[in-house]
Amino acid sequence: MRRIHYAWIVAAVTWFTLLAAAGFRSTPAVLIVPLQHEFGWSRATISIAVSINLMLFGLFAPFAGGLMERFGVRRVVVGALLTVSAGSGLTVFMHQPWQLDLLWGVVVGVGTGSMATVLAAIVANRWFVQRRGLVLGALTAAGATGQLIFLPALAWLAVNMGWRTAALVVASAALLGIPLVALFMRDRPADVGLRAYGATEADEPAPPLRNPVRAALGGLAMGARNRNFWLLAGSFFICGASTNGLIGTHLIPASIDHGMPEVTAASMLAFIGIFDVAGTMISGWLTDRLDSRWLLFWYYGLRGLSLLFLPYAFGMQYFGLFLFIVFYGLDWVATVPPTVALTADTFGRRNLGVVYGWIFASHQLGAAGAAFAAGAVRTYFGDYQLAFMTSGVLCLLAAGLVIRINRTRGQETVAAAPLPAASY
């Protein structure tokens, strides 16, 4: 029997890393109330730390891409785990709000940002030629699921054992991950004397070592000259605004506004998470076979229509909301595999890390902007109708943007084996 290709081991390690990183990132959500009780800080004060955390999670992505190119994936991930562990562990000693901003906001934000979606994109593209979309889908789904599945356990810990226990558990989990990554993670197939899974020719040579900051800014400069970059970044901005920003943050309060118990509302979000896992895996599988632009066109189009339907769904109570959850949940982060594939198509795989990093930063900017704007709309209007309808219209706009992406490669890219998506 043939030995298992080492690419699958790297994928598995990455999968656990992403799952954990997403869990670390979402931890502050369950700490808000305990911190409020112990220190008497206002929700607005604590939210500043969460906002910093969310912003850095996105804005650090291109620099993480540059760091991985310069120092290698293994070292960066080990460093990130150490950073998260330190940031989370040190919170036990804090007694001032600025310390929370620094630790949970800056330190954990940078640490989790270094392990997030850019890691998934780089691993899938370096190690896989066949099944690339499927692997990317699985890795992305881990990131989305990780934000949901640890929350109940962490909340239970925070309530029954105190928030310090929860913070220490996160710190130890990050420490435990370090040997796993150090032992099994490898930067490139060539490091273990292999080709990428399903590759018929040798991999692109490793790019010359570059200063990570210069690499990140160079990636932005390269992207900014290309029309496809703006189309991808624009549609991903809308993606972030309509998922994490709007629904992730505001579906629960909106449902409570419409007279639904909080637990039911929270379970709805959990169901979105479950449908999302299925949707993202299917999307990865489809990305290996179909034109990514068309996938995105349908994802954004259906998401837009389901958001436009949402104000009416609240009028129909459970049946309407169930319909919404199914349609909306299926493409929560299903947009990631096709977007990565299109980025790789346009800019080549060697530039993928930094360029996709910027596109993902645009995603997080959209998320942060929408989380704030929807809250403001709620405060001002007393209702979310405008926020839901605006995001619905924006998603339709994103459908129009992605379908206008030009598939011919930019001049900056080196000739490389065509991606499976391009062979359609």
Partner 1 sequence: MAGTAGAALALLPVAASAHAQLVGSSPAPGAVLATLPATVDLYFTEPVTPAGRGISVYGPDGRLVSNGTARAQGVQLTVGLGAAMDGTYAVIWTVIAADTHPSRGEITFSVGHSSPVRGPGLGGGDVGLVSPIGLVLQSLGRWLHFAGFALGFGAATYALFVAGDPRPMRLAGAGVALLLVAEPLALFAQTASFDPAQTFDGDALTSALASSFGRVLGLRVAAAILLWAVLGALRQAPWLRWSIPALGGALALVDATAAHGTPALPQPLGLLLNALHVSAMGVWVGGLAAFAIAPSGGFGRVAAWSAGLLIVSGAALALLHFANPLQVMTTAYGEILLVKLPLVGAALYLAWRARRRWELAALVAVLAVAAVLVSLPPPR
Q: Which residues bind partner 1 (CB under 8 A)?
A: 291, 293-294, 297, 301, 304-305, 308-309, 311-312, 315-316, 380-383, 385-386, 389-390, 392-393, 396-397, 399-400, 403-404
- Output the smallest distance, CB 368 to partner 1, in A: 23
For residues 338 and 285, what is the distance between their CA atoms, to the nearest angstrom?
10
For residues 349 and 356, what is the distance between their CA atoms, to the nearest angstrom?
10
- Output the smallest distance, CB 326 to partner 1, in A: 13
Of 214 and 407, nearer to partner 1 (C-beta) is 407
- Output the smallest distance, CB 406 to partner 1, in A: 11
For residues 173 and 422, what is the distance between their CA atoms, to the nearest angstrom?
40
Of 66 and 304, nearer to partner 1 (C-beta) is 304
**What stretch of H or E contains 255?**
helix 249-257
- Output the smallest distance, CB 380 to partner 1, in A: 6
- Output the smallest distance, CB 408 to partner 1, in A: 14
Of 309 and 322, nearer to partner 1 (C-beta) is 309
Of 326 and 386, nearer to partner 1 (C-beta) is 386
Exposure string of 347-375, with b = 16+ CB inside 10 Å and e = fewer, is: bbbbbbbbbbbbbbbbbbbbbbebbebbb
Of 113 and 311, nearer to partner 1 (C-beta) is 311
Query: How many other C-beta atoms can be found within 10 angstroms of the C-beta atom of residue 181?
Result: 21
Question: Contact, 41 vs 135, CB < 8 A?
Answer: no
Of 193 and 315, nearer to partner 1 (C-beta) is 315
Which residues pair with residue 197 across a beta bridge?
Answer: 128
Of 132 and 303, nearer to partner 1 (C-beta) is 303
For residues 344 and 349, what is the distance between their CA atoms, to the nearest angstrom?
5
Q: Which residue has the tokens 């809250």?
A: 375
Q: Which residue has the tokens 């850019």?
A: 118
Report angle CA 245, 247, 249 to the nearest 5 degrees.
60
- Output the smallest distance, CB 307 to partner 1, in A: 9
Amino acid found at 395: C
- Output the smallest distance, CB 247 to partner 1, in A: 17
Quick check: helix, strand or coil at residue 350?
helix
For residues 304 and 365, what is the distance between their CA atoms, to the nearest angstrom?
19
